[in-house]
Chain A
Amino acid sequence: MSNLAKFHAYKKKTPYIFLAPYFCLVCIFFIYPLISAFILSFEQTNGPKSRAFVGLSNYAFVLTDPDFHKAVKNTAVYAVFSIFLQLPISLGLAMLLNTAKDKTKGFFRLIIFSPNLVGQIFVGVIFSVLFVPRYGLFNRFVQSLLYWGLENRWLENPSLVLPAIIITALWMYVGFNMIYFLAGLQSVDKSLIEAARIDGANPWQVFLNVTLPAIKPVATFVVVMSTIGSFQLFELPFALLKGEFGPSGSGLFIVSYLYSMAFRAGDLGTAAAVGWILTLMIMVISLAQIKLSGTMEEGK
C-alpha cells in the first residue's frame, strides 16, 4: 500500500478513534443504565437473587398513587413560581446591572451570584435554621416588618412548606439566571435601541419591541433550563426538611418520590418506572416550551 493510501486509511479511521472513548463512556454510563432501568421498570427486585416480572404494574401503581400526584402538583407549582417569579426578578436585576457603571457592575454581579457558589445542601441547612419559630432570623425579620409571624412554623405547616422552599430557591437561583440574562442583554445591538428611541419609543416599548426579541433565545434557554431544574429538584428541599418530605408530603417532589421509592421502600422497579415517567414529562414540556417560543423555527 502506498504512503498516500495509508494516509487516507488513517484519515478515515481517525474521527472514529477520537470518538471511541466518548462513545464507550456514553454506552457504559448512559445507554446501558437507560436500557437496564427500562427493563427494571417492569420488575420487582429484592437483591440479585430475587427478581420478578410484573408487567406494567409499577407504572399503573405510580400513575394511580396519590403521593405521586402530590409530588407532580408540588413540582408543577414550584416550576411555575420558578418561571414566573424567579425569572422576571433575574431579568430585572440583569437590566439594572446592565445600566450600572462598569466599576459597580462586577461587584453587584458577584454579590447577587454568590448564593449560587454554595451548594444546595448548605443553603438548605442554613435556611432550616432561619425558619425556626421564635428564634429564626427570617421569623424575626418578618415579625419586625409586619408585627406577625414570630412563631410561624414554616417547615411544620403544610401550607407554608412550599413557600419556604420557593423563598429559599429564589435566594439561591436569582443570581444564577441573572448572569444568563446579563450576557444576553450585553449582546443586544445598541444601534437598534438608539434607532427605536429616535423613532420616539418609550423605555417600555424599547424593552418590549427591541430588547426582549433580541434576548429571546437566551430567555428560552433559561426557561427550559429552569423548568428542567425544577423537575429535578431534590437536594434543596431534602436538606431544608432534614431528610424528610415535609408535613403531609408538602415538600414531596417527583425526584424525592423516586428517592423514597428506591431507598426508603427499597422498590427499585417502581423507582425506575418513576424515572422513565419523569424523563417523558421533561421531554414533552421542554419540547412544548421550545415550540411555543418559536426558537426552533427561527433556528432553521
Chain B
Amino acid sequence: MEFPYGKAPFWILVLAIITGAVMVMSQKFTSAGRPDLVFVVFAARHYEAYQKLIPQFEKTHHVKVQLQQVHQRPLQTRLQSALLADTEVPDMVEIMNPFMGAFMKGPLKDVGFVDLTDRIKAEHLDERMVASRFSIWSSRGRIFALPHDVHPAALAYRRDIVEELGIDVSKIETWDDFVRIAHEKIVKDLDGDGIPDRYALDLSMPGTSFFPLLLLQRGGRYFDEQGKLTMDSEITIDMMIWYIHQSRGKDRIAFPAGEGQPFYKALSDGVVLFNFVPDWRSKVFEMDAPDLKGKMALMPLPVWEKGGRRTSTWGGTGLAITEKSKHKELAWELAKFLYLNKQDFSERFTMLNIIPPLKEAWNLPAFQVPNEYYSGQKIGQLYAELAVETPPDYVGAYYEMVDGKTREVLVDGGVYFEKHGDEGLREYITQKLKLKADYIRRVMNRNVFLQQQENVDVNTPQGVTE
C-alpha cells in the first residue's frame, strides 16, 4: 500500500513519531531518575566546596542530591520566570543580594520561598549569627533565606607604595584624613603630561557597589526597617556630594579602575592605591594579581566621624528553600549541614577568605593564620572584628530600581559638578533625588498586591532586625 502524499511526507511523519516517542521516553527516564534534592548555586567556588561536602550528607541521610551551577543573572531571571509560570523549580537555591528583592513583589504567600523565621529562631541562629545579615533576606519581618556570609568591607592597599610615600595608615582615622593625605601625598602627575598617573581610591561612577557601600557605612540606606523608601534622605545627599567631589573634577582623588584585566593592570601599575575589599574580594585579588603577594595589606575603612562604623558590606549570598519543594525538611537539614558545618568553615576560609555569619566559628585556628599575600596580616581576625559592625540593609521588591535611580542622580550630579562646580550642586541633587524617589513611590503604589498586603497585614510579626 502506498502512502497517499508520497514518500517524503511519509518519512517526515515517521521521523516525527520517532522523535516524539524518544522525547516522551527520555522525559520519563529523567523524572524516574530525579534526585531527592536539586540545589542550584551561582558561585563556582561554592559549587566546588559543596561538591566535596554533599557525598557525606547523602551517605548519612541515604538520599541523592543534585548540585547545579548557573550564572547569577540567569539564575535569578529563570527562577523568577519559573515561579511566575508555576513550572518546575529546584528545591534549594543560593541567591545573591540584592536579587532576593525581585521575589518579594507580591503578598508573602506568593514569595515562592519557605518562610524560615521560625526555624531560624528554633535553632537560635538569630543570636548565634550576625543579626544584621538577616535583614537582606527579610521581607515584612519574615526571613526567607539563611545567610551564607557577612562580607565586611575593608580597604586593601598597595603597602609597598604607601610605605614608600611615607604614609602611616594607622593615622588615617576618618575619611577626611584619607582625602587630605590623598591630596598631599598620593595624587600626582608623574610624567608631566598633565594627566595624574596615581590616584588614592578606585571609585567608578555607574554600575558598581561602591556608592551603596559607603552610604551604608555612613548610616544611610535606600529603605528603612519598615520598607519605607529613604533614598532621598539628607545622608544620601551628603554622601553623593562627597562621592562626586572625590571622583570628578580636577581635585579628584579617585580613578575608575573598572574590572577584570584593566583593573589589575591599574592595581599592578600603582594607578590606584586603595580599594574596597570585602572578604570575598580579598581572595579574588590573591588569585587574579598573584604578583602583588607581600605588597598588599588590609585596613578597616576610615570612619565618617570619630567612633563611627569601621566597615560596611558588599554582596551577600543566602540559601532559600522553594515552596514547591517536596522535601522541605530534608532541604533545611542540608542547609544547616552546609552553613553550620564547623569542619567546613576552616576549609571555606582557606579556599575563599569568607567569614561565616556564625560567630562561634571565628575562634577556629584557620582564622588566626597570617596571610602572606597581605604582608603576613591575620586577615581572618581583621574581618571577624569588622563583621560585628556590619550595617544592616533592607532589600525590598524595588531595591534594584532604587539603586539604578540613585546611580542616575550620582552620574547627573557628576556631570553638573564638572560644568558648574559646587554652586547649586546640593539643590540640584536634592531636587533630582526627590524626583526619582517620587517616581519609585508612584511605581510602588501601582503594585496592587503590595497594597492589598499592607491593608491585611498591618500587625505582621517582626523577624530579626538590628
With a cutoff of 8 Å between Cβ atoms, the chain A residues found around residue B106 in the complex are 46-47, 50
Q: Taking CB as reference atom, which chain B residue is nearest A249?
A: B408
Contact code string A33-53 (vs B, CB < 8 Å = 1, else 0): 000000000001111111010
With a cutoff of 8 Å between Cβ atoms, the chain B residues found around residue A151 in the complex are 195
Q: Taking CB as reference atom, which chain A residue is nearest B206?
A: A247
With a cutoff of 8 Å between Cβ atoms, the chain A residues found around residue B5 in the complex are 10, 14, 17-18
If A153-B256, A244-B206, A248-B408 touch, does A57 touch B446 (CB 8 Å cutoff)? yes
With a cutoff of 8 Å between Cβ atoms, the chain B residues found around residue A241 in the complex are 207
Interface centre among B83, B258, B407, B412 (most CB of A within 10 A): B258
Bound form: Cα–Cα A201–B5 in Å:
58
If A150-B195, A247-B407, A265-B401 touch, does A48 touch B412 (CB 8 Å cutoff)? no
Chain A contact residue count (CB 8 A cutoff): 44
Q: Are A44 and B447 in contact (CB under 8 A)?
A: yes
Bound form: Cα–Cα A47–B191 in Å:
60
Within residues 207 to 246 of chain A, which ones have a CB less than 8 A from any CB in chain B?
A: 241-246
> How near does chain A come to B374, taking the closest CB pair, in angstroms?
25
Bound form: Cα–Cα A297–B206 in Å:
50
If A47-B112, A266-B105 touch, does A135 touch B401 (CB 8 Å cutoff)? no
Within residues 134 to 164 of chain A, which ones have a CB less than 8 A from any CB in chain B?
A: 134-136, 150-151, 153, 156-159
Contact code string B437-455 (vs A, CB < 8 Å = 1, else 0): 0010001001111000000
With a cutoff of 8 Å between Cβ atoms, the chain A residues found around residue B265 in the complex are 135
> How near does chain B come to A42, taking the closest CB pair, in angstroms?
13
Q: Are A266 and B412 in contact (CB under 8 A)?
A: no
Q: Are B404 and A245 in contact (CB under 8 A)?
A: yes
Contact code string B92-119 (vs A, CB < 8 Å = 1, else 0): 0000000000100111011010000000
Q: Is A123 an interface residue (CB 8 A)?
A: no
Q: Is B296 an interface residue (CB 8 A)?
A: no
Q: Are A266 and B408 in contact (CB under 8 A)?
A: no
Q: Is B389 an interface residue (CB 8 A)?
A: no
Q: Are B110 and A49 in contact (CB under 8 A)?
A: yes
Q: Is A23 an interface residue (CB 8 A)?
A: no
Q: Is B165 an interface residue (CB 8 A)?
A: no
Q: Are B80 and A266 in contact (CB under 8 A)?
A: yes
Q: Are A153 and B84 in contact (CB under 8 A)?
A: no
Bound form: Cα–Cα A18–B415 in Å:
62
Q: Are B110 and A46 in contact (CB under 8 A)?
A: yes
Q: Is A115 an interface residue (CB 8 A)?
A: no
Q: Are A153 and B262 in contact (CB under 8 A)?
A: no
Q: Taking CB as reference atom, which chain A residue is nearest B205?
A: A156
> How near does chain A come to B367, taking the closest CB pair, in angstroms?
34
Q: Are B84 and A247 in contact (CB under 8 A)?
A: no
Partner of B205, one of A47, A54, A153, A263: A153
Contact code string A1-37 (vs B, CB < 8 Å = 1, else 0): 0000000001000100110000000000000000000
Q: Is A280 an interface residue (CB 8 A)?
A: no
> How near does chain B come to A214, taking the closest CB pair, in angstroms?
39
Q: Are A47 and B73 in contact (CB under 8 A)?
A: no
> How near does chain B come to A219, taking the closest CB pair, in angstroms?
39
Bound form: Cα–Cα A14–B6 in Å:
11
Q: Is A107 an interface residue (CB 8 A)?
A: no
Q: Is B27 an interface residue (CB 8 A)?
A: no
Interface centre among A46, A158, A245 (most CB of B within 10 A): A46
Q: Is B246 an interface residue (CB 8 A)?
A: no
Bound form: Cα–Cα A296–B435 in Å:
47
With a cutoff of 8 Å between Cβ atoms, the chain B residues found around residue A46 in the complex are 84, 105-107, 110, 449
Q: Is B38 an interface residue (CB 8 A)?
A: no
Q: Are B102 and A266 in contact (CB under 8 A)?
A: yes
Q: Are B262 and A135 in contact (CB under 8 A)?
A: yes
With a cutoff of 8 Å between Cβ atoms, the chain A residues found around residue B260 in the complex are 129
Q: Are B110 and A50 in contact (CB under 8 A)?
A: yes
Bound form: Cα–Cα A52–B450 in Å:
12
Contact code string A157-197 (vs B, CB < 8 Å = 1, else 0): 11100000000000000000000000000000000000000
With a cutoff of 8 Å between Cβ atoms, the chain A residues found around residue B271 in the complex are 134
Contact code string B380-413 (vs A, CB < 8 Å = 1, else 0): 0000000000000000011011001001100110
Bound form: Cα–Cα A63–B439 in Å:
14
Q: Is B77 an interface residue (CB 8 A)?
A: yes
Bound form: Cα–Cα A43–B67 in Å:
37
With a cutoff of 8 Å between Cβ atoms, the chain A residues found around residue B266 in the complex are 134-135
Q: Are A54 and B448 in contact (CB under 8 A)?
A: yes
With a cutoff of 8 Å between Cβ atoms, the chain B residues found around residue A61 in the complex are 446
Bound form: Cα–Cα A150–B335 in Å:
50
With a cutoff of 8 Å between Cβ atoms, the chain B residues found around residue A133 in the complex are 255-256, 258
If A61-B446, A158-B415 touch, does A47 touch B262 (CB 8 Å cutoff)? no
Q: Is B350 an interface residue (CB 8 A)?
A: no
If A45-B84, A132-B262, A264-B102 touch, does A50 touch B195 (CB 8 Å cutoff)? no
Q: Are A156 and B449 in contact (CB under 8 A)?
A: no
Q: Are A47 and B448 in contact (CB under 8 A)?
A: no
Chain B residues with a Cβ under 8 A of chain A: 4-5, 9, 73, 77, 80-81, 83-86, 102, 105-107, 109-110, 112, 195, 204-207, 255-256, 258, 260-262, 265-266, 271, 397-398, 400-401, 404, 407-408, 411-412, 415, 439, 443, 446-449
Pull 15 A–B residue pairs with CB atoms less than 8 Å apart, ordered by A. A44-B446, A46-B106, A48-B85, A49-B109, A61-B446, A129-B261, A129-B262, A132-B258, A132-B262, A156-B205, A156-B206, A246-B206, A247-B205, A247-B408, A248-B411
Nearest 8 pairs of A and B residues by beta carbon: A46-B106, A247-B411, A247-B206, A48-B86, A132-B262, A248-B408, A135-B262, A263-B77
Task: Given contacts A50-B449, A248-B412, list 13 more A-B pairs with CB under 8 A.
Answer: A44-B447, A46-B110, A132-B262, A135-B266, A150-B195, A156-B207, A244-B207, A247-B407, A247-B408, A264-B102, A264-B401, A266-B105, A267-B105
